[in-house]
């Protein structure tokens, strides 16, 4: 174990730290964080529409409000992410972030066809704007911002007299870089169109996004992703933040696809979504550390410091915040807790997948806040319907399984302390 730990600290940790601080991944992560209020607003509207407003006939008159909130949030998620990601990336370069965000949105539109089906000119299908367009939107946002930033840095700008208000000066400074960026993506559209394609979105969706989404629905890949988050965490790196751009890009479209299918009265196509992990895997935070807290209360006798940390961490653990446990026990670089901390999310992912794929629990389709307590979260994420109680039971089963996994290792740590006291 010591040799393995030494190898990981020398080879893995430096690479992981670089990945976690990589400018573009940080911009994507911050971009998703920025639109979280809108995602939660859209999800709440979806939840209300399909539960309370459906159960109480007198409230059905309010359903159009939910439809409009959804239309202004989840239905245009890609546009929101394009702006917020470009804004975050430009800000990291200390370049006009507002201009970069607006130019990125314009560049994304420049890659889209101006008609859809028989609708005629001037109609953009909403499918380009919802979560299925995330891959294309993120690529355009990053490239457009890089072009814009490089042109700004090369001083390819229109300089205004000092007497001109700063806002006007910034706008004119962005004129030439913005025009060149927009024309670049207009040229991209023309090339794809002449080669017989429809749009950049269709090329990326069929060539990259669809295969990756198919891969992400495999239980094996989901288990690896869940365990990889914890592997980062074990070495003191925020695994959730590091992998958040990848998790959102792969599993948010699956969530919105489920929501759209259920809205249309069809069966949800995806077993694993972004919220699936918060509902069944991250019970108390990465590594299901709420289960570790309970295991400590059950089995610890000699390690009084474990019990004290568990007592202090329990309130935050109920709301999926586990930093007190991560650095208080600590779990970070703790060789005794390494095995349960890494394998637990993989096993919980497998159980959650089986429970969903077999139809025991309905699929997740509502984006709940990640701080929603375990079991309640699973109930809400599956729509709070008459079948959602089975999702709550599935989450409770996972919590019990996680406790059973942690118990032997907590006892081992307790026995180790007893041996130290005897010596």
Position 1 in a domain: no
Place of tokens 């990589």: 22
- CA distance to 7, 376, 379, 393, per residue, from 389 (Å): 45, 9, 6, 6
146 and 277 co-located in one domain: no
Position 3 in a domain: no
Structure letter (DSSP) for residue 362: P
193 and 308 co-located in one domain: no
Place of tokens 């109920």: 318
- CA distance to 37, 132, 134, 144, 188, per residue, from 126 (Å): 21, 10, 13, 22, 21
- Rounded-to-integer distance, Cα 423 and Cα 420, Å: 5
- Rounded-to-integer distance, Cα 383 and Cα 358, Å: 18
- Give the pLDDT score at 420: 55
212 and 234 co-located in one domain: no
51 and 162 co-located in one domain: yes
The set of residues, in sequence order, having a beta carbon less than 8 Å from that of 129 and lying 6+ positions away, is: 75, 76, 77, 78, 79
Position 11 in a domain: no
Question: SS3 breakdown of the chain: % helix, strand, coil, rounded to 5?
Answer: 75, 0, 25
196 and 232 co-located in one domain: no
181 and 250 co-located in one domain: no
Q: Which of 192, 216, 240 is the last residue of a domain?
A: 216
The set of residues, in sequence order, having a beta carbon less than 8 Å from that of 265 and lying 6+ positions away, is: none
67 and 187 co-located in one domain: yes
Position 372 in a domain: yes
State pLDDT tens for residues 182-216.
Answer: 999 999 999 998 888 788 988 888 888 778 777 77
Position 381 in a domain: yes
Report residue 121: phi and psi, to 5°.
-65, 145
Q: Which of 194, 216, 238 is the last residue of a domain?
A: 216
32: tokens are 């998703």
72 and 106 co-located in one domain: yes
- Rounded-to-integer distance, Cα 338 and Cα 325, Å: 14
97: tokens are 């972030």
Domain count, the chain: 2
Q: What is the DSSP string of 15-28?
A: HHHHHHT-HHHHHH
CA neighbor of 16 nearest in space, from 236, 287, 225, 250: 236
pLDDT in tens, the chain (423 residues): 566 556 666 766 677 677 777 899 889 989 988 988 898 888 888 888 877 887 788 888 899 999 999 899 988 999 999 999 999 999 999 999 999 999 999 999 999 988 766 666 777 888 899 888 888 999 999 999 999 999 998 888 777 777 677 777 778 888 999 999 999 999 999 999 888 878 898 888 888 877 877 777 899 999 999 999 999 888 878 888 888 888 988 898 899 899 989 888 899 999 999 999 999 999 999 999 999 999 999 988 877 888 899 999 899 899 998 888 998 888 988 888 889 999 999 999 999 999 999 999 999 999 988 889 999 999 999 998 889 999 999 999 999 999 999 999 998 888 876 555 555
Neighbours of 235 (CB within 10 A): 16
Burial of 377 (0-12, 13-18, 19+ CB in 10 A): buried
- Give the pLDDT score at 289: 94
- Dihedral sign computed on CA atoms, order 274, 135, 263, 361: negative
Q: Give the CA radius of gyration of the chain.
A: 24
Position 48 in a domain: yes
Report residue 330: phi and psi, to 5°.
-90, 155
Position 413 in a domain: yes
- Rounded-to-integer distance, Cα 260 and Cα 359, Å: 19
* Strand blocks (E) in 88-215: none
CA neighbor of 362 nearest in space, from 341, 392, 334: 392
Q: Is 364:353 a contact under the CB 8 Å cutoff?
A: no
Neighbours of 410 (CB within 10 A): 24
Mapped onto helix, strand or coil, the DSSP state of residue 323 is helix
Domain residues for the domain of 163 are 23-216
Q: Tell me the β-bridge partners of 121.
A: 115
264 and 173 co-located in one domain: no
144 and 240 co-located in one domain: no
- Give the pLDDT score at 334: 85
Position 9 in a domain: no
Q: Is 277:247 a contact under the CB 8 Å cutoff?
A: yes
49 and 186 co-located in one domain: yes
Max Cα separation, the chain? 84
Q: Which of 171, 199, 216 is the last residue of a domain?
A: 216
242 and 102 co-located in one domain: no
Q: Tell me the β-bridge partners of 115.
A: 121
Q: What is the DSSP string of 54-122?
A: HH-GGGGGGHHHHHHHHHTTGGGHHHHHHHHHHHHHHHHTTS-HHHHHHHHHHHHHHTS-SB-TTS-BT
Q: Is 333:339 a contact under the CB 8 Å cutoff?
A: no
Q: Is 95:81 a contact under the CB 8 Å cutoff?
A: no
């Amino acid at each position: 174990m010591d040799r393995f730990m030494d190898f990981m600290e020398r080879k893995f940790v430096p690479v992981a730290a670089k990945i976690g601080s990589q400018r573009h991944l940080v911009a994507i992560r911050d971009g998703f964080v920025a639109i979280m209020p809108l995602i939660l607003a859209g999800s709440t509207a979806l939840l209300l529409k399909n539960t309370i407003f459906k159960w109480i006939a007198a409230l059905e008159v309010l359903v159009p409000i939910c439809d409009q909130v959804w239309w202004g949030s989840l239905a245009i998620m890609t546009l929101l992410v394009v702006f917020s990601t470009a804004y975050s990336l430009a800000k990291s370069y200390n370049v006009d972030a507002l201009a970069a965000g607006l130019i990125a949105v314009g560049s994304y539109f420049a890659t889209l066809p101006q008609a859809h089906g028989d609708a005629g000119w001037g109609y953009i299908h909403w499918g380009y704007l919802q979560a299925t367009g995330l891959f294309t939107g993120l690529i355009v946002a990053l490239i457009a911002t890089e072009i814009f930033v490089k042109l700004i840095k090369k001083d390819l700008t229109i300089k205004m007299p000092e007497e001109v208000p700063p806002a006007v000066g910034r706008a004119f400074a962005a004129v030439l870089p913005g025009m060149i960026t927009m024309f670049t993506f207009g040229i991209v559209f023309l090339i794809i169109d002449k080669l017989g394609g429809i749009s950049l979105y269709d090329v990326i969706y069929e060539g990259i996004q669809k295969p990756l989404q198919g891969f992400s629905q495999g239980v094996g890949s989901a288990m690896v992703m869940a365990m990889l988050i914890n592997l980062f965490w074990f070495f003191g790196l925020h695994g959730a933040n590091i992998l958040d751009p990848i998790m959102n890009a792969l599993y948010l479209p699956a969530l919105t696809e489920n929501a759209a299918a259920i809205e249309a009265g069809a069966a949800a196509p995806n077993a694993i979504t972004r919220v699936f992990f918060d509902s069944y895997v991250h019970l108390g935070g990465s590594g299901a550390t709420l289960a570790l807290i309970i295991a400590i209360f059950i089995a610890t006798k000699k390690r009084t410091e474990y019990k004290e940390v568990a007592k202090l961490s329990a309130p935050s653990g109920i709301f999926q915040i586990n930093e007190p446990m991560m650095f208080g026990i600590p779990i970070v670089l703790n060789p005794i807790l390494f095995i349960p901390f890494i394998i637990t999310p993989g096993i919980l992912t497998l159980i959650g997948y089986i429970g969903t794929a077999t139809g025991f629990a309905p699929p997740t389709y509502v984006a709940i806040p990640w701080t929603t307590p375990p079991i309640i979260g699973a109930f809400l994420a599956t729509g709070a319907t008459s079948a959602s109680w089975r999702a709550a039971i599935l989450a409770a089963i996972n919590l019990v399984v996680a406790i059973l996994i942690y118990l032997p290792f907590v006892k081992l740590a307790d026995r180790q302390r007893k041996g130290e006291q005897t010596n």
